[in-house]
Chain A
Amino acid sequence: MNDIVISVRDLTKRFGDFTAVDHISFDVRRGEIFGFLGANGAGKTTAMRMLCGLSYPTSGSGTVAGFDVRTEGELIKRHIGYMSQRFSLYNDLTVWENMRLFAGIYGLTAKQTNERATELLERLNFSSERNTLVGSLPLGWKQKLSFVIATIHRPDVVFLDEPTGGVDPVTRRQFWEMIYEAAENGTTIFVTTHYMDEAEYCTRASIMVDGKVCALDTPARLKQQFAAESMDEVFRTLARGAQRGE
């Protein structure tokens, strides 16, 4: 089994004469929690879209879950999970219906869907809620559910786009404990956040400024490198140098 789940070299995206993502290169290893940080407008979203197979690079190369980001976007989509705060689950479908819907989209058979959904609900201790409308669940449960649904097809990597925005401090921590646990079990996590304390939870973190990855290391080594007390300070030092706005 390949131990590198994401590998990109000189990945670049231009819109007209604007270079949104400018020659970024990095590897993400299996089982890592990889933090993808950057100021608004640094190019994070554009880079994520390329990694998720939603947009093709102008130049550069890379693979995600073993598939080519230049040509195999459709295959990438089937082998990754994706969760964002903005788009997660359908409130007017039940827990079970949401699971079926997403499992179907990810291409699982009816039999696989049944088996995995049942297993996931049991593990969450949530079997009794299978016919509950998602809209009536507390926020913390919705979040846990959208995370397990993003992994229902056992993807090589899960992309979490600001998964904890606006979430209360207790729920936010429960969510991170779930991420820790998933990573312990070998799931690779690629996560963006504006909460700098969450950057500390990552195995490694990268920081984008003006379309480039200008720092990438473990939180401990980044703090050492920039003589900073916290990741917040590291981030501020780097983002202050940004030339372009959003």
Chain B
Amino acid sequence: MAVIEVQNLSKSYGNVKALDGVSFSVERGELFGLIGPDGAGKTTLFRLLTTLINPDSGSATVDGYDIRDEYLAIRSRVGYMPGRFSLYPDLSVEENLQFFAAMFGVTMEESYELIAPIYKQIEPFRKRRAGKLSGGMKQKLALSCALIHNPGVLFLDEPTTGVDAVSRSEFWDMLAGLKEHGITILVSTPYMDEASRCDRIALCCEGRILEIDTPEGIVQGFDRPLYGISAKNMFALLERAREVNGVVDCYPFGEKHHLVVGDGFDEKKFRNALADIEGIEISTVKPTIEDMFIKLMKR
């Protein structure tokens, strides 16, 4: 049975539809990613599944318990790391952990094995106040606190936002380690390049889910030819390329622009049309999650 089962869940704030009829399920032991920008409804979904707010309509279960009627059972079974640092800044590292352990009626020793790989990195600072920690250390402490009661399900709301590329990839290594313990993880991120670290992902935008699949499956759904193009003047290239016959879309993508083409596109004609642009290069490229996201958003 699915550990997280979400059916047609909706939540509005005033006339803003934060979540608009979302359905998906997460299997036991899965690392499931919610990929999407600000305003996609990711935080609202976390707040619903951790029973902090109630939905307007729809239903969901976590570990078999209903989020509305059986919220107490859910609260003791899940770990939650909110997007905003929410530990006690004037308690020390150790005191924060002891506090969360006490709240859940466990001892630090019981969970030490689970949190050790993460906690060991901040243990030298255990007497330091949490408010005085660096961003990376706060993140590790928050994750340790979310794991203190050995939860079966872990909810992580944008744990890597604003974090540099190297620290981000270290964080994903930690999650891979937790997965080994059989913990089911639901994690959100605005960074498309992190999608490949998940077993399955949901692409989210403006309160809806655009697509759910494995990262490979999502990319396979990109059914048009894709080229990478570059030239000396990239801005001029972008504007001109869009006007050529058969071009569906053209957008900046790192060092190249990505060129999505449809029927009627002819590479030779394309080159001819842009013959006056200096240093033009064209090659086929493999689509990424981000290409798919752009395609789905523009649909």
Complex: A231 Cα to B293 Cα, angstroms: 22
A119 at the binding interface (Cβ < 8 Å): no
Q: With A40-B136, A177-B252 in contact, do A167 and B37 touch (Cβ < 8 Å)?
A: yes
Q: Which residue of A lies closest to B238 (CB)?
A: A177
Q: Which of A22-30, A120-128, A232-240 contacts B (4 or more CB under 8 A)?
A: A232-240
A-side contacts of B38, CB under 8 Å: 139, 166-168
Complex: A220 Cα to B293 Cα, angstroms: 27
A-side contacts of B193, CB under 8 Å: 232
A214 at the binding interface (Cβ < 8 Å): no
Q: Nearest Cβ distance between residue B194 and chain A, in whole angstroms?
A: 12
A246 at the binding interface (Cβ < 8 Å): yes
B166 & A169 in contact (Cβ 8 Å cutoff): no
B-side contacts of A169, CB under 8 Å: 37, 192, 290, 293-294, 297
Q: With A170-B297, A245-B136 in contact, do A165 and B162 touch (Cβ < 8 Å)?
A: yes
Q: Which residue of A lies closest to B167 (CB)?
A: A40
A-side contacts of B290, CB under 8 Å: 169
A176 at the binding interface (Cβ < 8 Å): yes
B37 & A232 in contact (Cβ 8 Å cutoff): no
Complex: A166 Cα to B294 Cα, angstroms: 15
Q: Nearest Cβ distance between residue B196 and chain A, in whole angstroms?
A: 13
B254 & A246 in contact (Cβ 8 Å cutoff): no
A200 at the binding interface (Cβ < 8 Å): yes
Q: Nearest Cβ distance between residue A213 and chain B, in whole angstroms?
A: 16
Q: Nearest Cβ distance between residue B209 and chain A, in whole angstroms?
A: 14
Complex: A171 Cα to B137 Cα, angstroms: 32
Question: Pick the contact of B135 from A180, A239, A246 — CB < 8 Å?
Answer: A246
B-side contacts of A43, CB under 8 Å: none
- Most chain B CB within 10 A, of A38, A170, A219, A235, is at A170
Q: Nearest Cβ distance between residue A167 and chain B, in whole angstroms?
A: 6
Complex: A203 Cα to B174 Cα, angstroms: 35
Question: Pick the contact of A176 from B39, B252, B297 — CB < 8 Å?
Answer: B252
Q: Nearest Cβ distance between residue A97 and chain B, in whole angstroms?
A: 23
Q: Nearest Cβ distance between residue B202 and chain A, in whole angstroms?
A: 15
A-side contacts of B88, CB under 8 Å: none
Tell me which residues from 160 to 188 in chain B have a Cβ below 8 Å from any Cβ of chain A.
161-167, 169
B166 & A39 in contact (Cβ 8 Å cutoff): yes
List of 5 A-B pairs having minimum Cβ-Cβ separation, nearest first = A246-B134, A168-B37, A197-B254, A166-B38, A200-B254
**Interface residues, chain B, with chain A CB atoms under 8 Å away:** 36-40, 134-137, 161-167, 169, 190-193, 205, 234-235, 238, 251-255, 290, 293-294, 297-298
- 9 additional contacts (CB under 8 A) given A40-B164, A246-B137: A39-B165, A168-B297, A170-B297, A170-B298, A231-B255, A235-B165, A236-B166, A236-B169, A245-B136
Instruction: List 11 interface pairs A-B (beta carbons < 8 Å), by A numbering.
Output: A40-B162, A139-B38, A139-B39, A162-B162, A170-B251, A171-B37, A194-B165, A235-B166, A242-B166, A245-B136, A246-B134
